[in-house]
Amino acid sequence: MNEKATEHDITKTSGKAMIEIIGMHKWYGDFHVLRGIDLTVAEQERIVVCGPSGSGKSTMIRCINRLEEHQKGRISVDGVELTNNIKNIEKIRAEVGMVFQHFNLFPHLTILDNLTLGPIWVLKIPRKEAEEEAMHYLEKVHIAEQAQKYPGQLSGGQQQRVAIARSLCMKPKIMLFDEPTSALDPEMIKEVLDVMIDLAREGMTMIVVTHEMGFAKSVAHRVLFMDYGQIVEGNTPEEFFNNPQHERTKLFLSQIL
């Protein structure tokens, strides 16, 4: 095995399961979006999910923090099972950060207030402390000088970095990324990916829905391919890109690479 493979070796992480999905199904009306998802994500594991549009990738990760409700099967996050118990849901949501395709910053608040909203109101951290933390994370995403501006005054790439910092302020154990670079102009994609790569180096557990295959190759432990609501194939990036097993995976890779 070459060095790169060992870097991706998940056995180096603690191996404790952070997310466990067993036999999950979901329907939108009569439309069967997710058809039996089984997935276990270990602590500090980084997973990239790809697949054609409509394959259920976004829906799958949105089920993990209950933005969508699954109708069959089980999901547990950090040992807590997702049920209709609203307290459980709020607890899991505070532990799971989510970054959206369209950033979804709060346009009526300054960047700093966007970041401190969750810590102050959910984690009950004093404002001054929350602001210090927020500045720390803004520096980390290289955007501290914009703290007093409003989201509408920032570029797309900057807004997405703020959105990542906003999630990090909640000290999440898991970060979910729902096509974080799809709405960005090409020249801004790199600045966002760089921040995500930094995050990966620090050992964050991440699930990233993206078509950035360069990102997948450089940081993912596992790449999953989804189609028709199922996980068709999942493997290390080397195996996945060099030696895809299924016809559908081969077809998809031939279309995007």
C-alpha Rg value of the chain to the nearest Å = 18
Cα–Cα nearest to 222, from 37, 46, 51, 52: 46
Binding mask of the shown chain, residues 38 to 57, with x at each position contacting another protein by CB under 8 A: --------------------
C-alpha 135/C-alpha 144 separation (Å) is 6
Asked whether the beta carbons of 65 and 98 are under 8 A apart, the reply is yes
Smaller CB separation from another protein, 178 or 233: 178
Smaller CB separation from another protein, 91 or 190: 91
Residue 183 lies near another protein (rule: CB under 8 A): no
Residue choice 14, 121, 129, 197 for contact with another protein (CB under 8 A): 121
Residues facing residue 39 across a β-bridge? 21
Residue choice 118, 229, 237, 244 for contact with another protein (CB under 8 A): 118
Residue 6's identity, in one-letter code, is T
3-state helix vs strand vs coil in the chain, percent to 5? 40, 25, 35
Residue 97 lies near another protein (rule: CB under 8 A): yes
C-alpha 119/C-alpha 137 separation (Å) is 13
Q: How far is the CB of 41 from another protein (least distance, A)?
A: 18
Residue choice 29, 79, 107, 186 for contact with another protein (CB under 8 A): 107
Asked whether the beta carbons of 116 and 169 are under 8 A apart, the reply is yes
Asked whether the beta carbons of 143 and 165 are under 8 A apart, the reply is yes
Smaller CB separation from another protein, 23 or 126: 126
Q: How far is the CB of 122 from another protein (least distance, A)?
A: 4
Q: Which two tokens stand for residue 257?
A: 């690479």
Residue choice 102, 126, 139, 245 for contact with another protein (CB under 8 A): 102
Binding site residues, another protein, CB under 8 A: 65, 67, 86, 90-91, 93-94, 96-98, 100, 102, 104-108, 110, 117-118, 121-122, 149-150, 152-153, 166-167, 170
